[in-house]
Structure 1
Amino acid sequence: MNRLRILLADDHPVVLAGIRALVEAEPDMEVIATAADGTAAFDLADRLRPDVAVLDMSMPGPNGAEVAERIARYCAQCRVVMLTVHEDRAYVRRLLEVGVAGYVLKRSAPAELVRAIRAVAAGGLHLDPAVAALAICRDPPRPAAPEAAAEPTEREAEVLRLTAAGHGNKAIAQALGIAVKTVEAHKANGMGKLGFRSRVELVRYAASRGWLGSLQP
């Protein structure tokens, strides 16, 4: 059995040890490295290319959001789960925009983190149930622009689905066997047809269409 390779980053040693014990108790997961600050977390992700990085939002140096954004840009095959105490919509939206695929509250049951790791590793999006409604259901999606008369094509919809699930352009290009510039064009065309300007709007739309199986708003 191929085990998921996990990177953990948290600046509290006791918390980090607890997360490591939790993850390593799962037969399909292994912790390949740990970090205590944002700089080390990104350096390890860049060098080791883990399947999933579990990041603390509030770390010294670059914070979790900044590290997640760098990982999405330079280590596209690595999916990010953010572990945080923050429950407000601004944090959730910010992290969705930078490409985070999993959002778990530190007060949640340990099993929630394990579910999130498995979900994002499988290509899904996982939001802690306590914040899912904040990210998706409070505001309805903005209607498509009046001039947006066409539906996205099948390929544009596939690119949008993968984008909503947290995959970067390079990862989508590899998965679909197309060029990165083609991915960018499909994404721009699809977003334009739907009248969307942000990933948060796209995630809400994707959830309403059933594209994100692990996310139940």
Structure 2
Amino acid sequence: MTSNDRVITVLLADDENLIRSALASMLSLEADLEIIAEAADGTEALAKARALKPDVAVLDLQMPGLDGVELAELLAREVPDCRTIIVTSHARPGYLKRALAVGARGFLPKTATGATLADVIRRVADGGRYVDPDLAADAISAGDSPLTPREADVLEAAADGAPLEEVARRVSLAAGTTRNYLSSAVTKLGARNRFDACTIARQRGWI
């Protein structure tokens, strides 16, 4: 890298400390990438992005508070020069479509290599886009999900029949809010109950 080359500033947001630290260490080896902030949840990431205005924010899909898609939507409005990339270990087709709709510029699985992520950061910083080909194919074949990201999260958390209070704990929401999300998901899917809703959503690749 020469003195005239651009250094891309990056914010990392992931509630799994080990994964976030590993990503930070890996990306810091790239001469043209600078990790200027890390965040353990969506709310913290939003505050740091507002203050530091990174070039690129790499966001975990599932985080407490604001999830990656919700955060990408807010950043598109409030920090428009910060481009967003979402990484996930739960690649639901519905999330991909929602992420792209709200302005995310990249979407890839956590199984991607460090070199791939670094290249995607560069591409997105230069104004391009990147969607993992396998995730894109799955999204096309699955059709459009009527569920919001939160409804999908809550429905998946309830799939094993856990009590409402346990489901609420898993998704970091109040019990009443969790019940409302489940009820909405059941209604949207035309299901008999939450278990039927889980079956329908899984068959269609939405959770």
The equivalent residue for 2:12 is 8
Contact in 2 for aligned 1:11/1:37 (Cα 8 Å): yes
After superposition, the Cα gap between the structure-2 partners of 1:4 and 1:138, relative to the gap in structure 1 and judged at 3 Å, is: same
1:96-149 superposed Cα distances (whole Å, 9 cap, x missing partner) = 1111000010112222211210111010110112213234x5499xxxxxxxxx
The equivalent residue for 1:55 is 59
After superposition, the CA RMSD in angstroms is: 1.6
The separation in 2 between residues aligned to 1:105 and 1:15, in whole angstroms, is 13
The separation in 1 between residues aligned to 2:65 and 2:141, in whole angstroms, is 33
Residue 80 of structure 1: how far off its partner (Å): 0.2
The separation in 2 between residues aligned to 1:128 and 1:22, in whole angstroms, is 20
Does 2:128 align with 1:127? no
Does 2:122 align with 1:118? yes
Instruction: Choose the corresponding residue for 1:98, options 75, 99, 102.
Output: 102
Identity %: 42
Task: Using structure 2 for the length normalisation, give the TM-score.
Answer: 0.64
1:56-90 superposed Cα distances (whole Å, 9 cap, x missing partner) = 11111111111111000111100000011122321
Q: SS at 1:67's partner residue?
A: helix
Q: SS at 1:58's partner residue?
A: coil
The equivalent residue for 1:180 is none
Contact in 1 for aligned 2:43/2:66 (Cα 8 Å): yes
Instruction: Choose the corresponding residue for 1:34, options 23, 35, 38.
Output: 38
The separation in 1 between residues aligned to 2:138 and 2:127, in whole angstroms, is 22
Contact in 2 for aligned 1:55/1:81 (Cα 8 Å): yes
Contact in 2 for aligned 1:42/1:71 (Cα 8 Å): yes
Structure 2, unpaired ranges of 5+: 144-207
Task: Using structure 1 for the length normalisation, give the TM-score.
Answer: 0.61
1:28-80 superposed Cα distances (whole Å, 9 cap, x missing partner) = 00000100011010011111110000011111111111111100011110000
1:18 aligned partner, one-letter code: A
Counting only pairs closer than 5 Å after superposition, residues 154-169 of structure 1 correspond to structure 2 as none
The separation in 2 between residues aligned to 1:36 and 1:87, in whole angstroms, is 20
Contact in 1 for aligned 2:69/2:95 (Cα 8 Å): no
The separation in 2 between residues aligned to 1:20 and 1:118, in whole angstroms, is 15
Structure 1, unpaired ranges of 5+: 141-217
Does 2:30 align with 1:23? no
Contact in 2 for aligned 1:104/1:116 (Cα 8 Å): no
The separation in 2 between residues aligned to 1:12 and 1:87, in whole angstroms, is 17
The equivalent residue for 1:79 is 83
The separation in 2 between residues aligned to 1:113 and 1:93, in whole angstroms, is 20
2:97 aligned partner, one-letter code: R
Contact in 1 for aligned 2:93/2:142 (Cα 8 Å): no
The equivalent residue for 2:180 is none
The separation in 2 between residues aligned to 1:18 and 1:94, in whole angstroms, is 27
How many equivalent residue pairs? 139
The separation in 1 between residues aligned to 2:80 and 2:123, in whole angstroms, is 16
The separation in 2 between residues aligned to 1:85 and 1:112, in whole angstroms, is 16
